[in-house]
Amino acid sequence: MVVARTLYDKLWDEHVVRVEPDGTALLYIDRHLVHEVTSPQAFEGLRVAGRKPWRAGSVVATADHNTPTRGWERGLDGVADATSRAQISALDANIRAFGAAAYFPFLDRRQGIVHVVGPEQGATLPGMTLVCGDSHTSTHGALGALAFGIGTSEVEHVLATQTLLARKSKNMLVRVEGAFGPGVGTKDLALALIGRIGTAGGTGYTIEFAGAAIRDASIEARMTLCNMAIEAGARAGLVAVDERTLEYVRGRPMAPRGPDWQLALEHWKTLHSDPGALYDRLVQMDAAGIEPQVSWGTSPEMVVAIGGAVPDPETESDPVRRLGIERALQYMGLRPRTPIEAIAIDKVFIGSCTNSRIEDLRAAARILQGRHVADSVKLAMVVPGSGLVKAQAQTEGLDRIFVQAGFEWREPGCSMCLGMNEDHLEPGERCASTSNRNFEGRQGPGGRTHLVSPVMAAAAAVAGRFVDVRKLLS
């Protein structure tokens, strides 16, 4: 009898080169995405050891973490910080020396956030193993690829050997039935899930997302969800390949064509979990019951629905968790039991590998059409995920909607998700952000981040505080 396998089991089995007696496997890596921050020490390691990349044709590279979102007309000189400039230049030099299948350098019209560029270019394909020195590599699982973030030593290992030493994780199924209500989407689902299972709830697992709400979700919406799998502790998120996946991939610059396309389809259509496949853990959710979410603390699990309030640590019985809540409230400058809708904001950031794709920008623009950012908001900015997303948005006139509403329309990159470039919060500033992490200091030392969806960020910009975006839907 053939054993029923999960999608993760299939992807894993297909890539195992060999297995050590303790279960440590050598996993073949099909695609290696590279960016400027976690790669220089890996290339240097190759150089010192006199090694070459095993298969440079597996590498797709772009500069994103450190690049400025303004002043591109000044070229590399527009990168004010000398160490940032050196890091961007180091990537140029390393790709020149070691090679790549494709490179989208700073200022290239296709440059952008590595997790936006990969799928956009067809560099991410179903059935691949894909790694990148960035934890949000889980994003690519939305296309039925086994994708996860690795450290710099592992970047060097993959460059040198085309493999990764890995142990198989457990299988978790998050089944989401029903349909999202208006103004609610996969960002809210991701936050609600993390609120439920915690930021360590998925540790040691690969999470497969399935159910009617996932089948009905666009590929971009699935990327938002898989992107946040790591915030639940899971290194990888997955969604089975279906017609939407194939439709998304078809015709992308690096996607197979002609006879290869037919060959690929045969394989890709097997990339789903078998009926009866067993999971180590099952989490069921109802999309219709999910409301717009807002994080209130310094961990993505510190989240509530928009109608809720900041918690009271007095009601928490676990002492470690109580201390965590107290510290978070102190850092965030919030009092217990404050209604979320009473929290005023200073800045708004729409962007990041979680929410900077064209659908995210369209959704935010629909809320902002004919409205304006509140006077109390010091800065509202949109940072498209890539140059191609930016160009598409401009073709559709979305940039004009944002600018007329009082948003700044910037160049692509990671920007204020992690504040490595000059886009960051000042101490004490409070931000409605479509990014993925509300850690202390993440968006700038002393900065206070509230994670929301693009439409909730747009609504907050208009109101100057968090509001239920559903009140703004016509």
Partner 1 sequence: MQAFTRHQGLVVPLDRPNVDTDQIIPKQFLKSIRRTGFGVNLFDEWRYLDRGEPGQDPVQRVPNPDFVLNQPRYRGASVLLARRNFGCGSSREHAPWAIAEFGLRAVVAPSFADIFYNNCFKNGILPVVLEESVVEALFQAVAAQPGYQLVIDLAEQLVVLADGSAQHFEVDAFRKQCLLHGWDDIGLTLRHADEIRDFEALRLRRFPWLARDLSA
Please give the angle made by the CA atoms of 151, 295 and 145, to the nearest 5 degrees. 40
Question: Binding pattern to partner 1, positions 84-113, x when CB under 8 A?
Answer: x-xx--x----------xx-----------
Q: Is 448 in the site for partner 1 (CB under 8 A)?
A: no
| Backbone φ, ψ for residue 162 (5° rounding) | 65, 15
Q: Contacts with partner 1 in 13-42 (CB under 8 A)?
A: 17-18, 20-24, 26, 28, 30-31, 37-38, 40-41
Which of 125, 217 has the CB closer to partner 1? Answer: 125
The window from 68-76, 181-189, 200-208, 359-367 that contacts partner 1 (CB under 8 A) reads: 200-208
Stated as kind and residue range, the H or E segment containing 38 is: none
CB of 184 to partner 1, least distance (A): 26
Nearer to partner 1, 184 or 417 (CB): 417
321 binds partner 1 (CB under 8 A): yes
* Min dist. Cβ of residue 439 to partner 1 (A): 5
How many CA atoms, within 13 angstroms, populate the side-chain half-sphere of residue 387?
15
Of 226 and 264, nearer to partner 1 (C-beta) is 264
Which of 9, 154 has the CB closer to partner 1? Answer: 154
Q: How far apart are CA 271 and CA 238, in angstroms?
A: 10
Task: Kindly tell me which residue out of 381, 420, 459, 462 binds partner 1, with binding defined by CB under 8 A.
Answer: 420
Give the other-Cβ count within 10 Å of 129's Cβ: 25
Considering only residues 284 through 303, tell me which ones interact with partner 1, judged by CB under 8 A: 299, 301
Q: Which residues of 331-362 are buried (b: 16+ CB within 10 A; e: fewer)?
A: bbebeeebebbebebbbbbbbbbbbbbbbbbe
Q: In terms of Cα–Cα distance, which of 335, 405, 327, 337 is closest to 365? A: 405
Q: Does 267 bind partner 1 (CB under 8 A)?
A: yes
Q: What is the largest CA-CA distance in the chain?
A: 67
User: From the list 134, 360, 423, 468, which residue makes contact with partner 1 (rule: CB under 8 A)?
Assistant: 134
Residues 151-170 contacting partner 1, CB under 8 A: 151-154, 156-157, 160-163, 165, 167, 169
User: Judged by CB under 8 A, does residue 66 bind partner 1?
Assistant: yes
Size of the site for partner 1 (CB under 8 A): 84
The gap between the terminal CA atoms of the chain, to the nearest Å, is 55
- In whole angstroms, what is the distance from residue 141 CA to residue 127 CA? 9
**Nearest partner of 440 among 280, 333, 317, 351, judged by Cα:** 333
Structure tokens at 189: 């689902």
Which of 361-369, 385-393, 435-443, 462-470 is the region at the interface with partner 1 (rule: CB under 8 A)? 435-443
- Residue 133 touching partner 1 (CB under 8 A): yes
